[in-house]
Structure 1
Amino acid sequence: MTYKSPLLQRHGAVEAGGLDAGVAAHYSDPIREQRLLAGVHGAAATAVVDLSHRGVVTVSGPDRLSWLNTLSSQQLTNLAPGVGTELLLLTIQGRIEYDARVLDDGETTWLIVENDEAAPLAAWLTSMKFMLRVEVADVSAGFAVLGSTHEVPEWDALLRWRDPWPEVAVGGYSYAVVPEDGHPGRERSWFEYLVPAAELEATVGERPLAGVWAAEALRIAAWRPRRGAETDEKTIPHELDLLRTAVHLSKGCYKGQETVARVHNLGHPPRRLVFLQLDGSQHTLPAPGSAVSVGGRTVGTVTSVAQHYEMGPIALAVVKRTVDPEAELTVEDDGEQYAAAQEVIVAPDAGQVVGRATGFLRAPR
């Protein structure tokens, strides 16, 4: 069944497409909504975002954290109740299959995922139970997610996941060129609240709503990758700087660990994430999937794009590692061409040995 949020009945709601089908792209004024979500010029952020299309999977039982620890890229055995983290489930080749926001309440581990991840993730986890004391359930129909850049005091009783981005977690590693105190992700706080689906409208109440376009613009500006947008069937974590929040480099064995370790210690990821400032003179935006080229040669793909309330048209793209960081890029979409100034996110020589030699990268904590 195709999901449709009850909040699409709110005045001005225009439904989103793609990954965000089923919730509102905006409520008739996306730039104003973005400002209300971000909080600008000293004003407090007030808007919340309907993310009720997200998938939610629960894992309960006394073995849940140690079990998830053996399966995933993240160290979870000592995860404290209420502390948010992120895990990846990888293929044997180290490619990203699932990317989950993780929160434990002391009895149950909650995994918040993209809409299309919940059912296959629950099925795969169930197949991996063996004799362990765990129970897996896809509870997406019973729970909704609301996003916010601020903590909502009236929602203190709700389970709340705080995005760890862009902090370099214990066991993590930064592949970014910029110093940590200059990372644009530090300008964005992000929280996701779990709400019983039947209480979604009452929980929102009269609070102003911002569409997912507003949330996406702030995510892109923070260089925060998203599964299904920045990823494809070949993506490894290093390409998106996900070693900082989603990978513990010194934990025990898990599927895909060999690739993670080999690329980190001996090689370089074949592609790298970049931030693009797009030429806004055409008053249109290229679509995700548009080709990125240098001198007529395709070198990558636009993965996410948005109109930012301050910076104008911006995007994330994944390009070949060897692309000159100083090169002027061109984005091509259906015959239209957009000049694009690139800002390096993942260093072209990303990898532990080279990174320590150049000083670009930060060692594991």
Structure 2
Amino acid sequence: MSESPSLTPSPLLSAPGAVAGPDDSLDAGVAWHYGDPLREQRTAENGAAVVDRSNRFVLSIGGPERLTWLHTISSQHVAQLPDGGSAENLSLDLHGRIEEHFVLTDLDGVTWIDTEPSHGPGLLAFLQKMVFWAKAEPAAAPDMAVLSLLGPDVRRPKLLAALGIASLPPVYGAVALPGGGFLRSMPWPGEHAFDLIVPRDQLARWWGELTAAGAAPAGSWAFEALRVAAVRPRIGVDTDERTIPHEARWIGGIAEHGAVHLDKGCYRGQETVARVHNLGKPPRHLVLLHLDGSADTRPEPGDPVTADGRPVGHLGTVVDHHELGPIALALIKRTVPVDTALLAGSVAASIDADSVPSYDGVQAGRAAVDRLRGR
């Protein structure tokens, strides 16, 4: 069997200055940077940048019942997703632990899904197994690939002309592109973020036209730095086999830019989601860590996070940011105070206070219990 296109090196690695991702990284098959990763981050925040993310696994779902069927087996409310609508979604196990995270767009009678390259085959197998009698047809779409456009200058007339569209859609909206594929607006990794899902054989053409129109090449390093600064997790790196949605900050419907709708019908793992939301608090939460930039080395994803020698969590993505310096995402115990001195591996670390979720709200289930007890 030949390799999936999402796992083979991108043809865009031949672009001038492209440096492939490290062999052991999830993004080994696409450009890590083009010679100046910090400048590329600044451009992605303040100008216009295009990122090769063609290692993403893309699949399609046809059939008239595709959305109502997907609605019943996943965490997001997608049964009435309009044409040109998108959402983030999760597949959970029976205990509410996250198995898959994916982005979906419904356009012209087809639901398109893209996810991490290493998770794509497993997600496709799960969807195909769950079809039963539904009129839904999930299938791999290796002939489609993902590019991302980042930055406020994406809205400039020259880039819109290169895209062949009159205006950009709102967040989670999508519009068809000339020649096939579509453009989708996303709420992350920055304020101005757009994905292009295009025919793989047109990758080079799109890359050439977008860069000629003013979008600077940027590597996966830039995308990851902005994602980490936005405290957006990546499944399998910032999550583990025990992670539940509340810990990973994926709670919320489409309007809240989440992946778990709290007012929808039954789905696998819903009991855990409802219990934590109504009665409890997550045992851990995802936070942003600032790392000691004077250290000779960087910690690695998976390294323990400790406080006074005792483990309190573990690291996810570690990256150098153009303004914040070395930063990381970490799943740590919720009870760890924000001002606790930490070690990430052997490197001093501190929690970014603004990244800590608030737990001040009164939960509906807990309030009901208190009323019954006369509190």
Give the alignment's TM-score, normalised by structure 1.
Answer: 0.85
Change (3 A) 1:76 1:350: farther
1:283 to partner: Cα distance: 5.4
Aligned to 1:267: 280
Is it true that 1:337 corresponds to 2:344 in the alignment?
A: no
Is it true that 1:307 corresponds to 2:320 in the alignment?
A: yes
Code of the residue aligned with 1:303 in structure 2: it is G
Q: Is the 8 A contact 2:298 2:347 kept in 1?
A: no
Structure 2: which 5+ runs fail to align?
166-176, 253-257, 368-375
Q: Percent identity?
A: 46
Aligned residues between the structures? 328
5 Å-filtered alignment, 1:118-129, equals 118-129=120-131
5 Å-filtered alignment, 1:38-49, equals 38-39=45-46, 45-49=47-51
Q: Which residue, out of 81, 89, 92, partners 1:90?
A: 92
Q: Which residue, out of 6, 11, 28, partners 2:11?
A: 6
Aligned to 2:21: 16
The structure having more radius of gyration, on CA atoms, is 2
Q: Is the 8 A contact 1:72 1:87 kept in 2?
A: yes
1:298 to partner: Cα distance: 1.4
CA distance, structure 2, for counterparts of residue 240 and residue 125 of structure 1:
23
Aligned to 2:266: 253
1:33 to partner: Cα distance: 1.2
CA distance, structure 2, for counterparts of residue 36 and residue 129 of structure 1:
44
Code of the residue aligned with 1:26 in structure 2: it is H
Change (3 A) 1:342 1:38: closer
Change (3 A) 1:143 1:278: same
Aligned to 2:186: 163
State the superposition RMSD in angstroms. Answer: 2.1
CA distance, structure 2, for counterparts of residue 312 and residue 36 of structure 1:
17
Is it true that 1:190 corresponds to 2:193 in the alignment?
A: yes
1:83 to partner: Cα distance: 2.1
CA distance, structure 2, for counterparts of residue 282 and residue 120 of structure 1:
39
CA distance, structure 1, for counterparts of residue 348 and residue 201 of structure 2:
44
CA distance, structure 1, for counterparts of residue 12 and residue 330 of structure 2:
31
> Any idea what SS the aligned residue of 2:128 has?
helix
Q: Is the 8 A contact 1:188 1:218 kept in 2?
A: no
Aligned to 2:205: 202
1:163 to partner: Cα distance: 2.2
- The structure whose RCO (Cα within 8 Å, separation 6+) is larger is 1
CA distance, structure 1, for counterparts of residue 126 and residue 295 of structure 2:
46
Code of the residue aligned with 2:21 in structure 1: it is A
Code of the residue aligned with 2:89 in structure 1: it is L
